[in-house]
Amino acid sequence: MPTLTKLYSMEEAALHNTPDDCWVVVDGKIYDVTKYLEDHPGGADVLLEATGKDATEEFDDAGHSKSAKELMQDYFIGELDPTPEIPEMEVFRKEQDTGFASKLMDNVVQYWAIPAAVIGISAVVAILYARRK
Ligand code: HEM
């Protein structure tokens, strides 16, 4: 039967960084070592300091035995989410020019451009017509 592995982001794993709630990340896997803190031969402090980051290097440097690696499986709770975080989209709003001059220009263009053009064209036609007579 397929097993479902829970995925967590590093940000989420990093929130568990206290003696009452301690997660460590080793080799892309997440371990809840809260109940193991006091029993850890390397000390609770070492585990607490290893929270919020990829502790693989420190773990390997400590030269953990085969039995230590087997024991780890008891504390496995999930894996690091490999999908990169999608940056939140920012909504850009074009700054509106609220200056008086530009407002005036907008109004002129909106309300006067067409009547002015009609009057201008009519005037030209009227002059041409009057000349022909
Ligand atoms: C679920 C996770 C872990 C388990 C089950 C575990 C288990 C153990 C065990 C059984 C030992 C005794 C030596 C051995 O048998 O290898 C040990 C020692 C040690 N561990 Fe861990 N460990 C874990 C995570 C870590 C992490 C994340 C670090 C470092 C960031 C670490 C650092 C150490 C150190 C420094 C020692 C002492 C080595 C020494 O004094 O020789 N351990 N650990």
Closest ligand 1 atom to 69 CA: 5
Protein residue whose Cα sits closest to atom 37 of ligand 1: 42
46-101 pLDDT per residue, tens: 999 999 999 999 999 999 999 999 999 999 999 999 887 677 777 777 666 678 88
- For residue 42, report the distance from its CA to the centre of ligand 1, in Å: 5
Can you tell me the ipTM of this complex?
0.94
Domain ranges of the chain: 7-80, 94-132
pLDDT in tens, 94-120: 666 678 887 777 777 778 788 888 999
Are 17 and 52 contacting, i.e. CB atoms less than 8 angstroms apart? yes
Other CB atoms within 10 Å distance of the CB of residue 94: 5
Q: How far is the CA of 40 from the centre of ligand 1 (A)?
A: 6
Return the CATH superfamily for domain 7-80.
Cytochrome b5-like heme/steroid binding domain (3.10.120.10)
